[in-house]
Amino acid sequence: MNDVARAAGVSLKTVSRVVNGEVTVNPVLAAQVQQAIEALHYRHDIGASTLRRSDRRTETIALLLEDVGNPFSAALHRSVEDEARARGVQVLTGSLDEDPQRERELVRAFTMRRADGMIIAPVTDDQSFLSTEMHDDNPVVFVDRPGHGIPADAVLATNVLGATEATRHLVAHGHRRIAYLGDYIRISTARQRHQGYLAALAEAGLEPEPGLVTHDLHTAALAESAVMALFHRPQPPTALFTSQNLVTIGTVRALRRLQLHRTVALVGFDDFPLADLLEPAVTVVAQDPATMGRTAARALFRRIDGDPSPPQEHWIPTTMIRRGSGELPPSPSLAAGRPTRL
Amino acid sequence: MNDVARAAGVSLKTVSRVVNGEVTVNPVLAAQVQQAIEALHYRHDIGASTLRRSDRRTETIALLLEDVGNPFSAALHRSVEDEARARGVQVLTGSLDEDPQRERELVRAFTMRRADGMIIAPVTDDQSFLSTEMHDDNPVVFVDRPGHGIPADAVLATNVLGATEATRHLVAHGHRRIAYLGDYIRISTARQRHQGYLAALAEAGLEPEPGLVTHDLHTAALAESAVMALFHRPQPPTALFTSQNLVTIGTVRALRRLQLHRTVALVGFDDFPLADLLEPAVTVVAQDPATMGRTAARALFRRIDGDPSPPQEHWIPTTMIRRGSGELPPSPSLAAGRPTRL
DNA sequence: CTACTGCCAGACAACGTTGTCTCGCCACGT
DNA sequence: ACGTGGCGAGACAACGTTGTCTGGCAGTAG
């Protein structure tokens, strides 16, 4: 900046004014400064600027997701980036992998880099550590899952409602034995989807059968073997509700192997690419990760801009997409309670 | 830091030494300092540290990809993050959307934030601007596509070879009229894959037919209508080589609509989730985005650590995965040159 | 012609940290 | 007892920038 000032024949402070777009500077001088900046390839140092400024902004936000490589997180990431881009803000990302320790480490790393705010899909049920971990005026917005122990905005899918709708849909097609297959039950979204499943059963006057509920399926492979097991016992289900992406995919694989994919009804929570091209195409309750990301980013920027209103919950609705797998009628043979032979 | 020093009864400089893990500190004092840090919730300020340090490291790298939301970029992003995590380095990300201006903007934004290095999947054929845009000692590594106008490492898939192998595979199954469907021909990977396709045809003594080559299909929808058009003319192909993810998916959709998915052979470049669950399952030449990301990150860190050796090209091999669609024989009816009726 | 106002440019200090230099202390050898 | 060497701690300046204060100059009113 000193070099630029010398080249433009002005003081260092005037260069600062030009760089920051202040209007109280003679246009002639401003033009000279701009020229010098170009000539010397001067680049403004945001780090030094942040250090000195009173608002301490870095024009950078942090985004902590389950795994930046999975389609849901990636879509959410993209829409956050688009909102940030419109404000000239950059995005630091990190994957949590359901690891509580990683959650704290990343929050610390991003705090040390003075991110202006964070959007977090939390792993655990206690985010109270954020209040001591983060700088006081840096807001947090929770996305996908609610945070606890700290007042903050949250952007959530209507998990209970969506799961109820999915299960109700299967009931409406005549199913009485509907299995639930879900992710780690400690994950709040999995709990809520399980809760929606139970609600729909209760509503229909159906007794929940413990043998038809399987939790903690965190990978497609686990889901696949869970489904295999399910159909090798007496009284198998005639329909399945899978509460997550990877579980749905593992389930489709298993049904193929069992040759039951045209026999057993299936509704999955969360859409996935190519669901419409499978045979039968997979009926899903679709989340809207793009809207979730956009909403979270907007909420965060509102807080960064100083909105002091009480924390808000934003509920992003799910949409049922009927494609075929969810509209299969109960198989008489399975309904009779016969297990599948290999 | 001053507060910590006071609380621990040492000088500010000693706190700095403890924070930076220097060994020339009395363990007793170091413990006192650690205690004070905990008690006061002191957080080291990386920005200020960067400003003062002689190496000016931010422990942050930048990653510029086509679109962080697409599966290829997302997988690559994830593996870069894993390498960075092992070094305590954070990742700034940005999507380029094939936009040259965006490429420059993001490079500038990340330079202003003093990223220690950048991994870029470049949009254009001229990255010479990087040499004036970036700080002198901050390395770049190109990934997926080569950079031009600046010496730097590059991590590339064996695009020509992979495309040749794919096309050769179709030739080996008896096909003589093989169509090429690809992304914007200005993208270097698309050019290379087209080149591989031509090479395989030449090798088999087949005349390339201009009518069987379609470029600039950047979305699945464009690919879909291109395929529809292809089969409504006389002399349709009996096999298709699709040179990119979205093109392959659009093509599958079109073949379904035409009821030709069990008739026309298809090999796609780049694998995609659920390709194995389609009917027929889609034969692909798979790239390895995880290895590409890992390799790029390692190359970048080697440069950041000061490796002065000449720039290197890393070629990441592709793998053909035979799943069924690529092994279909030529349809006699199509081979006879009859166009498809709707 | 003086006094006052407004406005723009520059001087200076400070943001939180670390590189460098200096100084004091202790152990050890003579 | 005294000198020397080594090692650990503190003082100070500086990194690149901006908030604040001061000063000069032009324009205007009395």
Q: Within 10 Å of residue A223's Cβ, how many Cβ atoms? A: 28
User: Residue B89 pLDDT > 60, yes or no?
Assistant: yes
Task: Give the per-residue pLDDT at B233.
Answer: 87
Q: What is the pLDDT of residue A153?
A: 98
CATH number 3.90.1150.10 given to A60-156+289-315: no
Is A293's pLDDT higher than 90? yes
Answer whether residue A268 shows pLDDT above 90. yes
Q: Express each pLDDT in A272-284 by its tens digit.
A: 999 999 999 999 9
Protein-proximal nucleotides of chain D (any atom < 7 Å from a CB): 7-12, 14-20
**How far is it, in rounded angstroms, from Cα B291 to Cα B143?**
11
At residue A340, does pLDDT exceed 70?
no
Which CATH number fits the domain B2-44, given the four candidates 3.40.710.10, 1.10.260.40, 3.20.20.140, 3.40.190.10? Answer: 1.10.260.40
| pLDDT digit string, tens, across residues B12-63 | 899 999 999 888 888 888 888 899 999 999 999 999 999 999 999 999 999 9
Q: Secondary structure of chain B: what % helix, strand, coil (to 5)?
A: 45, 15, 40
Is the pLDDT assigned to residue B338 strictly greater than 70?
no
Do domains B60-156+289-315 and B159-288+321-335 share one topology? The answer is: yes
Distance from CA of A98 to the nearest CA of B (A): 15
* Nucleotide closest to B11 measured between CA and C1': D10
Identify which has the larger pLDDT, A234 or A317. A317
CB contacts, 8 Å: A259 with chain B: none
CB of residue A7 closer than 7 A to nucleic acid strand D? Answer: no
**Is residue B328 predicted with pLDDT exceeding 70?**
yes
Mutate to test the interface with A, among B41, B68, B103, B224 (most CBs of A within 10 A): B68
* Cβ neighbours of A111 in B, within 8 Å: 43
Give the pLDDT of residue A341. Answer: 55
Chain B residue numbers touching A253 (CB-CB < 8 A): 277
pLDDT confidence of residue A1: 87
Amino acid A227 reads V
Distance from CA of A48 to the nearest CA of B (A): 6
Q: What is the distance in angstroms between the Cα of A259 and the nearest Cα belonging to chain B?
A: 13
Q: Name the band, by pLDDT with cuts 50, 70 and 90, for residue B211.
A: very high
B341 pLDDT exceeds 60? no
**What confidence category does residue B315 fall into, taking pLDDT thresholds of 50, 70 and 90?**
very high
pLDDT at residue A342 greater than cutoff 60:
no
Q: Which of B168 and B336 is assigned the larger pLDDT? A: B168
User: Which chain B residue's Cα is nearest to A44?
Assistant: B112
The nearest alpha carbon in chain A to B50 belongs to A47
CA-based nearest residue in chain A for residue B251: A277
Looking at the DSSP assignment, which residues form a beta bridge with residue A242? A181, A268
What's the 3-state SS for chain A? CHHHHHHHCCCHHHHHHHHCCCCCCCHHHHHHHHHHHHHHCCCCCHHHHHHHCCCCCCCEEEEEECCCCCHHHHHHHHHHHHHHHHCCCEEEEEECCCCHHHHHHHHHHHHHCCCCCEEECCCCCCCCHHHHHCCCCCCEEEECCCCCCCCCEEEEECHHHHHHHHHHHHHHCCCCCEEEECCCCCCHHHHHHHHHHHHHHHHCCCCCCHHHEECCCCCHHHHHHHHHHHCCCCCCCCEEEECCHHHHHHHHHHHHHCCCCCCCEEEEECCCCCHHHCCCECEEEECCHHHHHHHHHHHHHHHHCCCCCCCCEEEECCEEECCEHHHCCCCHHHHCCCCCCC
**What pLDDT does residue B234 have?**
86
Which chain B residue has the Cα nearest residue A41?
B132
| Mean pLDDT across chain A | 95
For B17 and D1, how far is CA from C1' in angstroms? 37
- For B63-84, the pLDDT digits (tens) are 999 999 999 999 999 999 999 9
Query: pLDDT value at position A292?
Result: 98
The reply to whether the CB atom of residue B11 sits less than 7 A from any atom in nucleic acid chain D is yes
The predicted structure's pLDDT at residue B337: 72
- Strand D closer than 7 A to residue A20 Cβ: yes
> What confidence score (pLDDT) does residue B87 get?
96
Query: In the prediction, which pLDDT does B120 show?
Result: 98
C-alpha triplet B224, B94, B100: angle, nearest 5°: 70
B159-288+321-335: CATH topology is Rossmann fold (3.40.50)
Chain B: nearest CA to A170, how far in angstroms? 23
Judged by a CB distance cut-off of 8 A, whether residue B87 touches chain A is no
Q: Name which of A89, A96, A258, A277 to mutate to probe chain B: the one with the most chain B Cβ atoms within 10 A of its Cβ.
A: A277
pLDDT tens digit sequence for A132-189: 999 988 999 999 999 999 999 999 999 999 999 999 999 999 999 999 999 999 999 9
* Sequence ranges of the domains in chain A: 2-44, 60-156+289-315, 159-288+321-335
* pLDDT at residue number B22: 85
The answer to whether the CB of B285 falls within 8 A of the CB of B268 is yes
Give the residue with minimal CA–C1' separation from C17.
B49
Give the phi and the psi of residue A278 in degrees, each rounded to 5: -75, 165
Percent of chain A with pLDDT over 70: 99
Cβ-Cβ contacts under 8 Å, B50 against chain A:
47
Q: Give the mean pLDDT of B294-298.
A: 98
Among partner residues B43, B90, B272, which is closest to A92 by beta-carbon distance? B90
Query: In this predicted structure, what is the pLDDT of residue A336?
Result: 80
Task: State the CB neighbour count (10 A cutoff) for residue B173.
Answer: 16
> What local confidence, expressed as pLDDT, does residue B139 receive?
97
> What per-residue confidence (pLDDT) applies to A119?
98
What pLDDT shows up at residue B299? 98
The pLDDT value given to residue B314: 98
* Local confidence band at A47 (pLDDT 50, 70, 90 cut-offs): very high
Confidence of residue B340 (pLDDT cuts 50, 70, 90): low
Q: A95 and A72 in contact (C-beta within 8 Å)?
A: no
User: Averaged over A282-293, what is the pLDDT?
Assistant: 98
Residue A316: φ, ψ to 5°: -100, 120
pTM for the predicted model, two decimal places = 0.94
Higher-pLDDT residue of A340 and B61 is B61
